[in-house]
Each structure stands twice: as C-alpha cells, then as structure tokens.
Amino acid sequence: MAQATLPPEVLDDAKARRYSADAAGLGRLRAGAFVAPALALISLFLVFPALWVLYLGLSNYRLTGAAAAAPQLVGFDNFVKALTDPEFWNSTWLTFEFVLGSAVIGQVVLGFLLAWIMRDRTGPLKRIVEGLVILAWILPSAVVSFLWVALLDRDDGTLNTLLHSQDFAPLLDHPMLSIIIFNIWRGAAFSMMLYGAALGNVPPSHLESARLAGASGWQQLRDVVFPHIRGHVLTNLLLISLWTFNDFTPFLLTAGGPDGKTEVLAVHVYQVALQGGELGYGAAVSTVILLINLVVAVFYLRLLRSKK
C-alpha cells in the first residue's frame, strides 16, 4: 500500500535525525562504537599485515641472505615468475581439484546429506552421528594427520587391515583423492551444522505440499529445499572455499608429495616461503590466491544472488 512518494529532502529533516530509528536505538555513532573494537583489531592485525603481504609480493624479500638485509622492489617480477612457473600452475590446478572435490562437492554434499537424513530425527543416533562428525572437525590437525597416516599407511594401515589388502598405498597411488577424502572427513561438520540450521528454516508445509503432489525425494529437494536454502548455500560455499583454499593440513599428511602431486597452493606457499625462504615470492603467490578467492566469491555471489 505504497503512498505518495515524497521528495527525499523531507527525509533529512532535522527532527528525523535527532535519534536513531533502528530496533535497539543504536544510531550510527553507537553502532560505530560497537564495531570499533573489532575493526581496530582487524585493521591492526589483519588489514595492515595483509596489505604488507601485498607489498612484500612486489619485493624480492627473503628470510636470509643478502636480500634479507636489503630487499628491493622488483615490481611484478614475482608474479611473472609465478605465472611462468609450471609448478605454480600445477599447484593452482591441484588447489582447484582440492577445493572443488573436497569442499564444493565433498563437504557440501556430505554435509547436506548428513543434515538431510538427520533433519527430523532425535535421540542417541542423531547425537552419536553428529558428535562423531563434529569430533573430526574440532580435533587438532596435528593429531588428525597421525590418525590418517595410521589409516592409510602402506604397511600397517587400518584400511589395509580392513580390506585385507597388502601394499595398498592410497597416499602414494591416489594422493589427491586421499587428501580430498581426508578433507571431506575433516570439514563436513561445518556444512552439516549450517545446513542443519538452514533446513530448520524450510517450512515443513512446503515439503509436505510437494509430497502431496507426489514429488519424489529428489523433486522435493530441487523444488522446495534448494530454493529456500540458497542463501545458506552461498555462505557455506564462500566460507569453506576460502578455508579450503588456504588449508595447510594436507601438508601434514603428504608433505606435498609424492613428487608435488598434492602440493596445493597453501602448501606451495609454505614450501616457498618457509622452507625456501623466498618470502617475496610467497607473498606474491598469496596475493594470487587472494585474487582467485575474489573471483570465486564474485562467482558465487553472481550464481546464487542473481536468481533472486
């Protein structure tokens, strides 16, 4: 019931600004004060060093040696070096596989599956399943890497024991697949929780009216569930993609090997910056990761927000 629209000047009437109109009466000033501590910490310990990293990416800075004493700006040399380095492209490709396989497909699908089958269940089964899934998420990586080495070990691995197989070495023969499955195991909890909450927001009546129309499970998902949880899918995809892009845990499992077959970008940066001491180059690669993340984020936003 829109009424006549007034010229905008009226809005700036002095009275209207005397105090704020949001629910809690915060007002911009106080809202600013609420945001301030977080923003201060973020600016100081996040934005500032992040910009510094971007700057380092333009230098030949190293941890040791002459370049450590007197680093020089080298412009985009590092970027040129990265973009012409097959190892970088290898890592980029592996990272895509890793993010796509373990996060975008693996965690999202498994997380959703778990949330879906547990959605209106209560009792011990739900608690046990959810507890185990979340356990995999909260255990420290250092511990978790041992667990998976023990699981996948070529000689004594639990998997070999279970399969009664000998010399089956997933980490060597299918290294990428191994770390993808590992990361699915590790990260499904977050998606499960997010989708669990999202599914709570799908009105049961919508599902039921699809069921009454005779819709199959898949049709219900497509026609009812997915349109409702689109926003959550976006948040979830964005966060887990970012996290997976920067996930360093595979290093603990495979050390990037064998022969660089699992040297995802985060590991690549680790090896370049920490083991090789080439901080300038490492920072440049980090910058490239940032740009890729940006593209991915924009892609998700386009994909999921545009249809609204």
Partner 1 sequence: MSAIELRGLTKVYPGGVKALDSLDLAIPDGEFFALLGPSGCGKTTLLRTIAGLETATGGAVVIGDRDVTGLQPGARDIAMVFQDYALFPHMNVTDNIAYPLRIKKVGRAARQQKAAEVGARLGLEQLMDRRPGQLSGGQQQRVALARVMATQAQAFLFDEPLSNLDARLRLEARTFLKKLQHELGVTTVFVTHDQAEALAMADRMAVMESGHIRQIGTPAEVFQRPANTFVAGFIGSTPMNLLDGVVRADTLEVTGCKLAVPQSAEGLLHDGEKIVYGVRPEYNVYSAEPVDGSLGGNVSIVENLGASYLVTLDVNGVLVQAVVPEGHEPAIGDEGYALPRRDRALIYRDGELVSA
Partner 2 sequence: MTRFVLHRIGFYVLIAVLLAFFTVPLLWLASAPFTSDPTYKVRLPDFTSENFRAILDNPYALGSLWNSVLLAAGTAVLVVVFAALAAYALSRVHLPGRDALLYTLLLLSSIITGTAAMVPLFQLAVELHLIDSQLGLILIMTGGLLPAAIFMMKDFMDSTPKSYEESARVFGASPLQIVRHVVVPLVRPGLATIAVWAVANVWGNFLMPYLLLSDVDKQPAAVIMYTLYTEGGQANIKLLATFGLLYSVPVVLMYLFVSKKYGFRFHGGIKR
Partner 3 sequence: GQSSDGGSGDTIELTIAQNSISGGKNAAAADYITNWVIPKFEAAEKAKGKNVTVKFVPSGVDDEQYKTKLSLDLKSGKGADVFDLDGIWAGEFAEAGYLKPLSDVVGADADNWDGWAQIPQSVQGLATYNGKKYALPVGTDGRVLYFNKTLFQKAGLPADWQPKSWQEILDAGNKLKAAGVPVPIQINAGTAMGEATTMQGVLPLLAGAGGQLQQDGKWTGASQPLKDALGFYQKIYGGSGLGDPKLQQEAKGRDKSFQQFAGNEIGILLESDYLWRGVLNPETGVAKMADRDQSVGYALIPAEEPGKGINGQDFVSMSGGALRAVNPNSAHPKEAFELAAFTLSPDGLKEETKNGNVRITPRTDVNKEILSSEPLLTYISDKVVPLTAFRPPVAAYTQVSVALQEATAEVVSGKTPDQAAADYQAKLEGIVGGAGNVAS
Contacts to partner 3 by CB under 8 A: 62-69, 149, 154-155, 169, 171-172, 253-260, 271, 274-278
Question: Among the candidate windows 12-20, 81-89, 235-243, 285-293, which touches partner 1 by CB under 8 A?
Answer: 12-20
Number of Cβ atoms within 10 Å of the Cβ of 178: 21
Task: Closer to partner 1 by CB, 229 or 265: give it.
Answer: 229
Enumerate residues 184-203 that contact partner 2 by CB under 8 A.
Answer: 185, 193-194, 196-198, 200-201
Q: Which of 1, 14, 66, 212 binds ligand ATP (CB under 6 A)?
A: 1
Residue 148, interface with partner 2 (CB under 8 A)? Answer: yes
Instruction: Give the nearest distance from C-beta 205 to ligand ATP in angstroms.
Output: 12
Enumerate residues 2-61 that contact ligand ATP by CB under 6 A.
Answer: 2
Instruction: Give the nearest distance from C-beta 26 to ligand ATP in angstroms.
Output: 16
Task: Closer to partner 1 by CB, 49 or 217: give it.
Answer: 217
Residue 90, interface with partner 2 (CB under 8 A)? Answer: no
Q: Rounded to an integer, what distance in angstroms lies between the CA atom of residue 157 and that of residue 171?
A: 11
Q: Rounded to an integer, what distance in angstroms lies between the CA atom of residue 42 and that of residue 190?
A: 24
Instruction: Give the nearest distance from C-beta 38 to partner 2 in angstroms.
Output: 4
Residue 4, interface with partner 1 (CB under 8 A)? Answer: yes
Instruction: Give the nearest distance from C-beta 248 to ligand ATP in angstroms.
Output: 45
Whether the CA torsion 305, 113, 149, 164 is positive or negative: it is negative
Q: Quick check: 116 and 195 in contact, CB under 8 A?
A: yes
- Go through the chain and tell me how many residues it has: 308
65 binds, among partner 1, partner 3, ligand ATP, none (CB under 5 to 8 A by kind): partner 3
Number of Cβ atoms within 10 Å of the Cβ of 287: 20
DSSP code of residue 255: T
- With a CB cutoff of 8 Å and minimum separation 6, the contacts of 95 are 245, 264, 265, 266, 289
Q: Which tokens go with 46?
A: 């996040």
Q: Quick check: 194 and 232 in contact, CB under 8 A?
A: yes
Q: Quick check: 236 and 193 in contact, CB under 8 A?
A: no
Instruction: Give the nearest distance from C-beta 224 to ligand ATP in angstroms.
Output: 19
Q: Which tokens go with 33?
A: 């004060």
Enumerate residues 150-189 that contact partner 2 by CB under 8 A.
Answer: 150-151, 153, 155-159, 161-162, 185
